[in-house]
Structure 1
Amino acid sequence: MDAVHVLGLVMHPRKAVGDSVATILDSVATILDAGRDQPIRVVVREPDRERVPGGVEVVDEAAFVREVDGLIALGGDGTMLGAMRLVVERPVPVLGVNHGNLGFLVEVAPGELPAALQRLAEGDFTIERHACLETDAEPRFGFNDVVLARGSCTGAVSVDLWVNDVRYGYYRADAVVVATPTGSTAYNYAAGGPVLSPSSEALVVTPVAPMAGISRAVVLGAGDRVTLAVAEDSAPIAVDVDGTPGGTLERGGRLSVALRRDAAEVVRLSADEHASRSRIKLSLLDLPLRPGQLLDLIPPELRQRAHKIIEREAS
């Protein structure tokens, strides 16, 4: 990776001061300190003007997208996805700092940021490339999934599945999810769909609570174009791209989705460790426990040590 000269910060859209352990502003200060002796411009977009200290340059979104050659996402997976979407037309390396909750994409905890920045400066990291879904909706790009769901409380989603202009069958369900390998651990997984390897070039189409038609997930190749055509007996459909409303589809409407390779570059400091953490997080989703109840699984002596570490980082 070439040296970064313009570093863009993408901040959680709602958290003004961060979480209980370390604030987003603390991370911004750490980034500014690390770059103080280097010829690096640190920039944010106009909506974040009131949320950053002096030393961070504010630019409009067009200039931000055009000029940055590296990004740091300060938030959770949603913030990370937003950062990746911003630069999908010209991918640059993106590092995620976890100011969110579970976090499958983000790798670095706030307390680990100084060491992470040092490793970045030394070139001690790898790049993990991610595909995205390209649609004819707006927003056009989704790194997790595109969802067709009921736009009202009654009726069902009824759509025909076409693959490369060949009709495969139909779905009648509460929703239909088209997911990337990255997004296969999100809504697709909750709906009973398979987890795809991050290294696979594939997409998966999964019905949610199917009532008729295709009742199982369908895994397709990277070169396949999926078209979902709304049937006459369908309820109005709301389209959602990575959690962002993407308009509606009426009877007779169509939505096309294809996989776009190498649409993002995610910085990995320890790919093996990140993969191990993700497997553990995924297994925790299957436990019938609230997050607070998970502490009961930790032996008391280890629990006390964990509390001391948290208190020390917070002070």
Structure 2
Amino acid sequence: MVNALGLVLHPTKPVDRSIEAILAATAAAGKPLRVLARESDRRRVPPGIEVVPEERFPAEVDGVIALGGDGTMLGAMRLLVDRPVPVLGVNHGNLGFLVEVSPPELPAALSRLAGGDFTIEQYGCLEVGGLELATRYGFNDVVLAREGRTGAVSVDLWVNDVQYGYYRADAVVVATATGSTAYNYAAGGPILSPSSGAIVVTPVAPMAGIGRAVVLGAGDRVTLATAPDSAAIAVDVDGTPAGALTHEGRVTAALRADAAQVVRLSADAHASRSRVKLSLLDLPLRPGQLLDLIPPELRQRAHLAMTGGDDQPTA
């Protein structure tokens, strides 16, 4: 039972209508329900939403709605690693592999949530540590990239404290099965089944050493240790800067199971849409060029369905 519902907002995108839909649904529920936001979002939420300090937010919410794209969803999941609660993603972003609900679908989704008509998907993450890094959590990937435009990332690969080889490349990506469709995929790495629980290590533009992706088990512990000939290395976790490595630095990554709970209203439909989105990434067309392939009357009908007929479609 949810007594306190938390909101995690995209830092810049307008999400006012979704917030209004959430407040309307909670008011219609006929039972007391706290709606919480973090202090950092104080100026973006209306009256009726309780603002709490950042450190209190994860401990006080029983469920979370992330209003944004995959980045916002990942941020919400990282907030709750030590105390996972169900997270529903509402897509105010672009492609969105994790988020399931579009803003027009939100009222119906909230009704289903109130009726218990949903399932929970468990997600694991990479627990990341290192001499220069505070422990971080990555649901997609950890990326070691050169800080400048010159030189190369040069690191030794250790698995369970056994050295396996080295990489010399523009970057090295350590990804979960969830993150295998992101930077790993763009770098030519394999897509991993979510049920595999595996980790994949993929070099980006390799120059020497290991030149292909290496798939490891869920229980393996990966260590990447900086070599003396390496360029300065910047470390990103889920696309967020996490620190830098010196010439004697190292990063460790191990899978932490069941680190997040993601709400699914229709797991099959979401999986089908994700496969379509993934296939679109391989097409040699930009989004605007794809729209040009759709007949004008269908474009107009889709636009009116998405906006509720509030405004006129563009040509």
Q: Same fold (TM over 0.5)?
A: yes
Counterpart of 1:97 (choices 83, 90, 101) is 90
The answer to whether the 8 Å contact 1:139/1:241 transfers is: no
**DSSP-derived class of the 1:259 partner:** strand
How far did residue 300 of structure 1 move?
4.1
Q: What are structure 2's unaligned runs of at least 5 residues?
A: none
**Which residue in the other structure is 1:44 paired with?**
37
**Which residue in the other structure is 2:3 paired with?**
5
Structure 1 residue 288 corresponds to structure 2 residue 279? no
How far did residue 306 of structure 1 move?
1.9
Structure 1 residue 27 corresponds to structure 2 residue 18? yes
**Which residue in the other structure is 1:21 paired with?**
none
**DSSP-derived class of the 2:174 partner:** strand
How far did residue 138 of structure 1 move?
3.4
Counterpart of 1:309 (choices 305, 309, 312) is 305
Q: 1:178 to 1:295 in 2, by over 3 A?
A: same
The answer to whether the 8 Å contact 2:40/2:54 transfers is: no
Task: String of CA shifts for 1:154-183, please: whole Å, max 9, x gaps.
Answer: 100000000001111100000000001111
**DSSP-derived class of the 1:297 partner:** coil
2: CA distance, partners of 1:310 / 1:267: 22
How far did residue 64 of structure 1 move?
0.8
Counterpart of 1:66 (choices 59, 68, 71) is 59
2: CA distance, partners of 1:236 / 1:311: 48
2: CA distance, partners of 1:280 / 1:313: 27
**DSSP-derived class of the 1:61 partner:** coil
Counterpart of 1:276 (choices 272, 278, 290) is 272
**DSSP-derived class of the 2:166 partner:** strand
**Which residue in the other structure is 2:192 paired with?**
196
How far did residue 308 of structure 1 move?
3.3
Q: 1:139 to 1:53 in 2, by over 3 A?
A: farther
**DSSP-derived class of the 1:138 partner:** strand
The answer to whether the 8 Å contact 1:10/1:74 transfers is: yes
Q: 1:314 to 1:161 in 2, by over 3 A?
A: farther
Counterpart of 1:163 (choices 154, 159, 177) is 159
**Which residue in the other structure is 2:229 paired with?**
233
The answer to whether the 8 Å contact 1:139/1:246 transfers is: no
What letter is aligned with 1:82?
G
- Matches for 1:253-264 after TM superposition, within 5 Å: 253-264=249-260
The answer to whether the 8 Å contact 2:198/2:217 transfers is: yes
Structure 1 residue 213 corresponds to structure 2 residue 206? no
The answer to whether the 8 Å contact 1:150/1:175 transfers is: yes
How far did residue 314 of structure 1 move?
4.1
The answer to whether the 8 Å contact 2:104/2:307 transfers is: no
